[in-house]
Amino acid sequence: MSFTDLVPDPDALEQIAAGSTWAEGPCWIPATRTLRWSDIPGDRILQWHADTGAVDTYADGVEFTNGRTLDRDGSVVQCSHGLRRVERDRDGVVSPVVDAFDGVRFNSPNDVVVARDGSVWFTDPAYGITQPREGHPGEREYGDHWVFRCGPDGEGLRPVAVDLDEPNGLAFDPTEAVLYIASSSGEEPVIRAYDRVDGPLGDRLKNGRVFARLEPGEGAPDGIRVDVHGNVWSSSHRGVVVFDPAGVRLGEIAVPETVANLCFGGDDGTTLFLAATTSVYRIATTTTDAAAVS
């Protein structure tokens, strides 16, 4: 599969929203035909309406939400820097999924995915407690930056990856046998891959290895997505980089602003939406998200 099979016109990038401070956490909401995203320093959630092209505020004073994903039941699971938790938005009513591990608080959950079995997997770097405009200053209460997994209501919480300096975006491959995790550390700006294996105490991650690296000048990966073919789509400081399932670079989409995160959406799921600093962009692709709710 070539890059132009996936993105027929890489130059056909369209800005659909401006005016964010730092756009993150894009998520297509099929029921309302809206794209929802976080403006983290603006402490608000914005939305773009596919019907009209209008942009408005979905909610403000939201405690610095970051990444989000659609759950099977249509609710939205999202990360809260300010409340140091993962939470669920069901029709505008927000409630916690999980807010502590073994008696201590998380750092600032950054990005989240929900597996087909309903389990919730999220990364916990410290940007929301170290960057004053992204949350509230605070301590690393367990002293590290881990990746956690819990059940749909927060049950069975446990760390599943403890070997990344700064875990950030994450996404399963189409079989959910592999979890990709972006490492945003300046020391090692890579996407790592882990095998998800089951055992008597439940699933866990093993065999962590480097899947792909960005090139000099592309910065560190933040949000990532996987398409139905298993290709990995990564944010970069220059746009979007696409890797095949073996980690071979297929091509790039050039974007005039640093891309923090991305998602597939639109009515047929083939539009790629990019949360890129002050703007949100869209571009047509020929594929859809491996995790798309159907």
**CA 116 → CA 9, 45, 143, 203, distances in Å?**
32, 26, 31, 13
Question: How many chain residues bind Mg ion (CB under 5 A)?
Answer: 4
> Least distance to Mg ion from the beta carbon of 169, Å?
5
What residues contact 248, with CB distance under 8 A and at least 6 apart?
none
Nearer to Mg ion by Cβ, of 50 and 77: the residue is: 77
- Among 103-111, 113-121, 246-254, 285-293, which window interacts with Mg ion (CB under 5 A)? 103-111
Report phi then psi at 215, rounded to 5: -95, 160
Q: Tell the smallest beta-carbon distance from residue 110 to Mg ion (Å).
A: 5
Q: Which is nearer to Mg ion, 168 or 231 (CB)?
A: 168
Alpha helices (runs of H) in 42-153, residue ranges in sequence order: 127-130
**Binding residues for Mg ion restricted to 262-291, rule: CB under 5 A:** none
Nearest distance from C-beta of residue 168 to Mg ion, angstroms: 4
Number of neighbours of residue 195 by Cβ within 10 angstroms: 13
Among the listed residues 98, 85, 72, the one whose alpha carbon sits nearest the alpha carbon of residue 153? 98
Distance in angstroms (rounded) separating the CA atoms of residues 248 and 252: 12
| In the complex, minimum distance from the CB of residue 1 to Mg ion, in angstroms, rounded to a whole number | 27
Q: How far apart are CA 84 and CA 76, in angstroms?
A: 17
124 contributes a contact to Mg ion by CB under 5 A: no
Which C-beta is closer to Mg ion: that of 168 or that of 258?
168
b/e string for 136-169 if b means 16 or more Cβ within 10 A?
Answer: eebebbbeebbbbbbebebeebebbbeebebbbb
**Exactly one of 43, 89, 203, 222 binds Mg ion (CB under 5 A); which one?**
222
Q: How far is the CB of 289 from Mg ion (least distance, A)?
A: 17
- In the set 34, 69, 110, 236, which binds Mg ion (CB under 5 A)? 110
Tokens representing 193? 């891959």
Which residues, listed in sequence order, are joined to residue 98 by a DSSP beta bridge? 86
State in angstroms the smallest separation of the CB of 235 from Mg ion. 8
Letters for 148-177 (x = contact with Mg ion by CB under 5 A, - = none) are: --------------------x---------
50 or 193, CB closer to Mg ion? Answer: 193
Q: Count other Cβ atoms within 10 Å, centred on residue 177.
A: 11
- Identified binder of Mg ion from the candidate list 71, 111, 124, 252, rule CB under 5 A: 111
Binding site for Mg ion (CB under 5 A): 110-111, 168, 222
